[in-house]
Amino acid sequence: MEFAFYFASGVAVVSTLRVITNTNPVHALLYLIISLIAVAMTFFSLGAPFAGVLEVIAYAGAIMVLFVFVVMMLNQGPASVTQERHWLKPGIWIGPSILSAILLAELLYVLFAQQSGAAIGQTTIDAKAVGVSLFGPYLLVVELASMLLLAAAVTAFHVGRNEAKEQ
């Protein structure tokens, strides 16, 4: 399983470099999704499937949808439609598609290569172990993080709302 770990890490590094070097925000978002999925694959290869699934759901799912909405809101007007059509030509999907296919093959290898489901550490960390850790010794940190996220959500609401201008 060390091969799976290093391979997923390599894909994560390559796709993250493509995020940094890309000047087009839509292309950078595509490679960022691949990078987050590759990080989830490193979790799977290390024997932490719960952390890998959380990575896919929380980051590659929810946060990337938020980024896509921000990009959509920034590109307003009729000129942006032709610009988006230019950005989303079929050729830009080749790189992310190849990296995604590689990660899918690696996921199948990790899932079906060993009978016990354990990876490098020879133990699998399940959801119960994560919950016991989060709500045991790290309870204060989890609650502080939740309050910080709540404050960020309230601040984003107040900053982003449109107030009627007084005349």
- If asked whether residues 137 and 107 sit together in one domain, one would say no
- If asked whether residues 132 and 104 sit together in one domain, one would say no
Query: What's the total number of domains in the chain?
Result: 2
Q: What is the pLDDT along the chain (167 residues), one digit of tens a residue?
A: 678 888 888 899 999 999 899 887 778 888 888 898 899 888 888 877 888 888 888 887 777 777 777 766 665 566 666 776 776 777 777 888 888 888 888 878 777 776 544 545 566 777 788 788 888 898 998 899 889 988 888 887 777 766 645 54
- If asked whether residues 107 and 137 sit together in one domain, one would say no
Q: In whole angstroms, what is the distance from residue 119 CA to residue 113 CA?
A: 10
Strands (E), the chain: none
Tell me the CATH number at 86. Answer: 1.20.120.1200
Q: CB neighbours (10 Å) of residue 160?
A: 8
64 close to 3: Cβ distance less than 8 angstroms: no
pLDDT score, position 63: 77
Tell me, yes or no, whether 167 lies in a domain. Answer: no
Q: Which long-range contacts (CB under 8 A, 24 or more apart) does 95-104 make?
A: 95/18, 95/30, 95/31, 96/15, 96/30, 96/31, 96/33, 96/34, 99/11, 99/14, 99/15, 99/31, 99/34, 99/38, 100/34, 100/37, 102/7, 102/11, 103/8, 103/11, 103/34, 103/37, 103/38, 103/41
Q: Which domain holds residue 24?
A: 1-119
- If asked whether residues 71 and 152 sit together in one domain, one would say no
Tell me, yes or no, whether 107 lies in a domain. Answer: yes
- If asked whether residues 106 and 138 sit together in one domain, one would say no
pLDDT score, position 81: 66
- If asked whether residues 14 and 58 sit together in one domain, one would say yes
pLDDT score, position 17: 92
